């Protein structure tokens, strides 16, 4: 737990540094876009603004995730980060829509663009974004909201490359339409970066089985543990993409309560080592409460009564 908190603190420090540097990029690109009349540069500035929001919300979410569980929030505040990531993804889609609209308008009537200013600002933006992405590359593995911020920044770095190419095309050929075309490409990059984050976040909120887990295989491996006769009412979900939980009823041979500790420890070791599940709730039984039902519905009375009157 101490190591986990230390990782969160380190990620938080990198996020704060990223916010400061991204703020400088935003001012430079907004001013440069207005001076050069470049939609591509202003589009990139809009993406940087989304970066700053993403980084700020991610830093807030990391702090919330370190708060201890309470009587009201028994799982803690880990899913704040997931909600933040979804909000970020939706914001990116909105920005992409604005860029597409303005790009189409400019293709119909291309304005004059100062390619020299556009090129210099885009080069500075690319350098700054690469620095921020480098800071966040490791922290993104620990948190979905940091991952969303990382892809914000990396997408903006790719967008800066597009702006640079657009500036060079305009400078060398005088083709003003290149600015709007590059803007559309930037919009596509932005939308693509949002889709994976949005789908992963929704999957967590819907408590889907984690993508790396085959539920039938997991149940089969549990049944292979000596002493286990049946597994049912099996649920596997994620609090965040990196924190997985499991609850299940496990039918074992009739034995003393003190002797069940070995079975429980074998189950927990298998789940942790093979499936990265470290939070388990196991109900050990000597008689199945729902014969043949690996997946039990949550509706009351869904499982038949056993002869002794239990569900």
- Among 219, 204, 213, residue whose Cα is nearest residue 251: 219
Residue 139 — pLDDT band, cuts 50, 70, 90?
Answer: low
Instruction: Give the CA distances from residue 54 to residues 79, 83, 215, 245, in Å, rounded to whole numbers and listed in that order.
Output: 16, 12, 34, 27
How far is it, in rounded angstroms, from Cα 305 to Cα 10? 53
17-29 pLDDT per residue, tens? 778 888 888 888 8
CB 216 within 8 A of CB 195: no
How far is it, in rounded angstroms, from Cα 6 to Cα 291? 45
Residue 268 — pLDDT band, cuts 50, 70, 90?
Answer: very high
Which of 43-69 are b and which e, b meaning 16 or more Cβ less than 10 Å from the residue's Cβ? bbbbbbbbbbbbbbbbbbbbebbeeee
208-246 pLDDT per residue, tens? 998 889 989 999 999 999 888 888 889 999 887 778 999
120-136 pLDDT per residue, tens? 888 988 888 888 888 77
Residue 76: its pLDDT value, please? 77
Regarding predicted confidence, which is higher, 61 or 177? 177
Q: Within 10 A of 228 (CB to CB), how many other CB atoms are there?
A: 18
How far is it, in rounded angstroms, from Cα 247 to Cα 234? 6
Architecture of domain 2-205: Up-down Bundle (1.20)
Residue extents of the structural domains in the chain? 2-205, 208-311
With tokens 């309470």, the residue in question is 70
Q: Would the pLDDT of 292 be above 70?
A: no
pLDDT, mean over the chain: 79
How far is it, in rounded angstroms, from Cα 245 to Cα 278? 7
How far is it, in rounded angstroms, from Cα 82 to Cα 89? 11
pTM exceeding the 0.75 threshold for the entire prediction: no
- Among 84, 87, 167, residue whose Cα is nearest residue 123: 167
Partners of 237 in beta bridges: 245
Fold of 208-311: Alpha-Beta Plaits (3.30.70)
Partners of 248 in beta bridges: 282
- Separation of CA 240 from chain center: 8
How far is it, in rounded angstroms, from Cα 80 to Cα 142? 14
State the burial class of residue 6 (Cβ atoms within 10 Å of its Cβ: 0-12, 13-18, 19+). Answer: exposed
Residue 182: its pLDDT value, please? 82
295-304 pLDDT per residue, tens? 665 555 555 4
């Amino acid at each position: 737990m101490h190591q986990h908190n230390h990782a969160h603190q380190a990620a938080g420090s990198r996020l704060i540094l990223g916010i400061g540097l991204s703020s400088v990029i935003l001012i430079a690109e907004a001013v440069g876009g207005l001076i050069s009349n470049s939609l591509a540069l202003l589009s990139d500035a809009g993406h940087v603004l989304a970066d700053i929001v993403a980084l700020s919300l991610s830093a807030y979410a990391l702090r919330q995730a370190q708060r201890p569980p309470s009587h009201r929030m028994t799982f803690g505040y880990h899913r704040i980060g997931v909600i933040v990531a979804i909000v970020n993804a939706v914001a990116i889609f909105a920005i992409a829509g604005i860029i597409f609209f303005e790009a189409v308008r400019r293709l119909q009537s291309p304005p004059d663009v100062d390619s020299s200013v556009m090129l210099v600002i885009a080069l500075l933006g690319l350098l700054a974004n690469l620095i921020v992405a480098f800071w966040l590359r490791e922290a993104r593995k620990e948190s979905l909201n940091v991952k969303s911020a990382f892809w914000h920044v990396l997408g903006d770095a790719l967008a800066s490359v597009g702006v640079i190419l657009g500036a060079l095309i305009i400078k060398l050929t005088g083709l003003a339409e290149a600015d709007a075309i590059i803007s559309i490409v930037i919009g596509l990059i932005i939308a693509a970066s949002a889709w994976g984050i949005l789908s992963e976040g929704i999957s967590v909120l819907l408590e889907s089985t984690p993508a790396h887990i085959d539920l039938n295989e997991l149940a089969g491996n549990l049944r292979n543990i000596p002493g286990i006769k049946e597994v049912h009412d099996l649920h596997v979900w994620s609090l965040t993409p990196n924190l997985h939980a499991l609850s299940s009823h496990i039918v074992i041979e009739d034995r003393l309560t003190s002797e069940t500790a070995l079975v429980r420890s074998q189950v927990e070791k298998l789940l942790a080592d093979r499936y990265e599940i470290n939070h388990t709730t196991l109900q050990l039984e000597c008689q199945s409460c729902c014969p043949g039902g690996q997946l039990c519905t949550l509706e009351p009375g869904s499982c038949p009564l056993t002869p002794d009157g239990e569900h």
